[in-house]
Amino acid sequence: MMNPFSRVLPLLLGFGIAWAQVSLERADGLFKAGEYAKAALAYEEVLSQDYGLFEAHLGLGVSLFRLGRLEEARFAFDQMVRVFPDRYEGHFNLGQVQLRLGRPKEAAEAFAKAVELRPTEEAYLGWASALTQAGQAKEAAGVLRKGLTPERSPAYHLALAQSLYASGARAEAVPVLYGLVNREPGLAEGWDLLARILAEEGLKERALRELDRGLKAVEGKARARLLLRKAQLSPKPEPLLREAYALDPSLWEAAYLLGQARLEAGDAKGALGYLLAAYRVSPEPQVALSLAVASLRLRDYKNAYRYADEAGPPGTFLKAQAAYALGRKEEALKLLEGMATPEAQALRGALLLEKGRLEEALALLRPLYESGRDPEVGVNLAAALVALGRFGDAEVVLREVLQRAPNQAAAWYNLGLALRGLGREAEGQRALAQAAALGSKEAQALLRR
């Protein structure tokens, strides 16, 4: 769709020269040359002499907008609508600037006034966009329905369907989308949303058939979006994702899903390239989260910490793991506070054990082990029992652990300590020898004494 600001420029460039004084001609010339900062000053000078000159207000506002000086542009267009309350251009451009400033409520008010003055497609689209950004998708759909006429563009029909979908009126969006894709079969966004709705309605096979229709009609780079949607609905997505990514490397979702597939296959190194490519295009929290997982597996703890932090609350446990690996144990403990997942509890128990807070570790690890019988948790529980001199209890736990994980070196090592603590030296030596054979450096060092 054409940039709405470009729609008003003919008023500035086409008629201003005929109506204005020499100073306005100079300002228009600077604007045409792209000298927006100088043009803004020139338009200000014109207005200082004649504040009722429409073309100068318009030129000043657009110049400031082009410079990115949005608050100044907002003021310029606000002044314009005060001086010319019945001119469409001021209200429309004020709405555009308010949108860019993140003020959708004010933008909606400006666009509504623009529609009242001249019900253009662009004004209706701007009004609906402002309402959507304000969290009023239902109202946005109502606005677009109100402005719907036979001559509205495919972009307008797509916006109506998107608003209906966002407001929860999926079934109402379907006829709009069928009308759209039959009128404009090359519009990938229409096929994509149609397939999405059908799939969400439980019509997965029909969604795939519509995607195949769309792929026959859509050409070039735009096909990537449909291939991505098809991959998300297919039992074997990777070939489709690869094709989508090859067509459009900027499609971050395809790169992200390829990275996820590599992670799930245990190939963190292979995943990293795809995930970094997705992150460079769009550093979404879920991409950062997967990067944290890949970095942890590759023992790149510094980047794991960074990406986990960027992932927000879902990355807290990964951040704690990275902090622990970086030797920042107090920070890791703090991050784990209040986390109830078994993995978080197990790590917290290990940290408490390492810091010598044995009773706290024991209180946390015993119920955790009893609920899941995880060998790693059992080893840490037994280590706490050994450190507290409760050798008999430790032996019971370790015998059970070794039934499940007979090659667990740490379990053999702690069993050796427990047995020696119970005065069973020969058995303890054999357990330590087994631990040493399995690679326990602690057991090896103890046996050398």
Domains and CATH numbers, the chain: 249-339 (1.25.40.10), 341-449 (1.25.40.10)
Judge whether 64 and 76 are in contact, CB under 8 Å: yes
Q: Kindly report, residue by residue over 57-114, the tens digit of the pLDDT.
A: 999 999 999 999 999 999 999 999 999 999 999 999 999 999 999 999 999 999 999 9
Q: What mean pLDDT is reported for the chain? A: 93
Tokens of 386: 């050994």
Q: What's the pLDDT at 22?
A: 64
Span 16-31, mean pLDDT? 73
Judge whether 292 and 286 are in contact, CB under 8 Å: no
Q: Kindly report, residue by residue over 305-353, the tens digit of the pLDDT.
A: 999 999 999 999 999 999 999 999 999 999 999 999 999 999 999 999 9
Q: What's the pLDDT at 157?
A: 97
Measured from the Cβ of residue 377, the count of other Cβ atoms closer than 10 Å reads 24
For 153, residues 6+ apart whose C-beta sits below 8 A from its C-beta are 1, 121
Length of the chain: 449
Tokens of 58: 């318009």
Question: By C-alpha distance, which of 420, 423, 401, 422 is closest to 410?
Answer: 401
312 CB-side CA count, 13 A: 5
Span 380-408, mean pLDDT? 95
